Structure 1
Amino acid sequence: MPASDKAPSAQPGVVVDPYRAYNFKLIDHGLMQAAFTRVEGLAIIVNRALFRAGGENSVVRAIPMQVSYPPVKLWYGVTDSDELLRWLFTAVKGRVERRDVSLALLNEAGTDHVRRWDFFGAWPCEWHGTPLDALGDELAIESLTLAFDRLELADDGNQAP
């Protein structure tokens, strides 16, 4: 996004509203595969080692160690598309199909990416089907959990990996 199109940055006396958490999409090879209702677990964990430098007994320092990426859980409405389940069943059959996918946070109008996280080497590792209840009237929502090798913040918010 060109600098002239960006929202104003926070400055003293200027209120900049945060983006809404409900406007997002998952991008897989440039196509959105499902209408997602929720995403949970977006995180990076940098493990640390604590040590005391020689002669500085009152100071405990931390140095970064291994980086880990917890799986991300996606909730989506059941539709005619079974692409996500077919992807899962390749892993069930022992053939993990790794894909590069992105999670894009959209502006309030839903037209532009304002932030995008790129997941490299993603593959489905867990699925939970929708509860079925003949007396209920809720939407059919199931969840898919993705494991991945690496997570990066995209340099520009508009291009998929």
Structure 2
Amino acid sequence: MAQTGRRVDPYRAFNFIVTVIGLKEPVSFTECSGLGSTTEVIDGPRAIGGAGGGSGGLTRLPGKTTFTDITLKWGVTDSTELWDWRQQIVNGKVVRRNGSIVVFDLDNHTEVARWNFVNAWPSKWEGPALSQKGDIAIATLVLAHEGLTSFTTTKV
């Protein structure tokens, strides 16, 4: 809970790391998106005269929860580790990995937020757009996963 009179600034989106358990080389991702979940809404009839004294109408219940794919972008280097992981999927060998998305304070010393994802596997790889402009070659990897197990924040 925020203290009275104390300004609470939102976390900055640029100061983060993504770790994937089982990768030998660290990858400096430039962008991470897709942290989300959606729960289906099921409409059903409300019982008449039930515990809440309902008079009919609809009851809204939670249904199946699905998780948004995580999209990672990074500058292409001589490392082939992410490409190799994706190729395992293409070749029919599903290798699932857990990982975390961690946000740090502005001084890059203190972890302020963390989301852990479970049983992820690369469902899409997209190579960089190449041109004569001199831009950095950015590749994209999309991870399908089975859930975000936690969201934690640390008071700074």
| TM-score, structure 2 as length reference | 0.84
Alignment partner, residue 49 of structure 1? 42
SS of equivalent residue, structure 2 residue 148: strand
8 Å contact kept, 1:129–1:142: yes
8 Å contact kept, 1:119–1:152: yes
AA partner of residue 144 (structure 2): A
8 Å contact kept, 2:17–2:28: yes
The percent of aligned pairs where both chains have the same amino acid is 33
Segments of 5+ residues of structure 2 without an aligned counterpart are 49-53
**Counterparts of 2:112 and 2:29 in 1: how far apart (Å)?**
18
Alignment partner, residue 83 of structure 2? 85
Larger radius of gyration: 2
Alignment partner, residue 3 of structure 1? none
Greater shift after overlay, 103-112 or 71-80? 103-112
Matched, 1:29 2:27: no
SS of equivalent residue, structure 2 residue 83: helix
| 1:12-161 alignment, distance < 5 Å | 12-29=4-21, 33-55=26-48, 56-57=54-55, 60-133=58-131, 135-154=132-151
SS of equivalent residue, structure 1 residue 34: coil
AA partner of residue 10 (structure 1): A
What does the per-residue CA deviation read over 1:5-37, in whole Å, with 9 as the maximum and x for residues that have no partner?
xxxx41333211111011111112387731111
SS of equivalent residue, structure 1 residue 136: coil
Segments of 5+ residues of structure 1 without an aligned counterpart are 1-8
**Counterparts of 1:122 and 1:140 in 2: how far apart (Å)?**
24
Assess, with a 3 A threshold, how the Cα gap between structure 1 residues 41 and 92 changes in structure 2: closer, same or farther.
Answer: same
What does the per-residue CA deviation read over 1:63-93, in whole Å, with 9 as the maximum and x for residues that have no partner?
1111111211111111122111111111111
**Counterparts of 1:51 and 1:22 in 2: how far apart (Å)?**
43
Displacement after TM superposition at 1:97 (Å): 0.5
**Counterparts of 2:65 and 2:120 in 1: how far apart (Å)?**
16
Displacement after TM superposition at 1:52 (Å): 3.4
| TM-score, structure 1 as length reference | 0.82
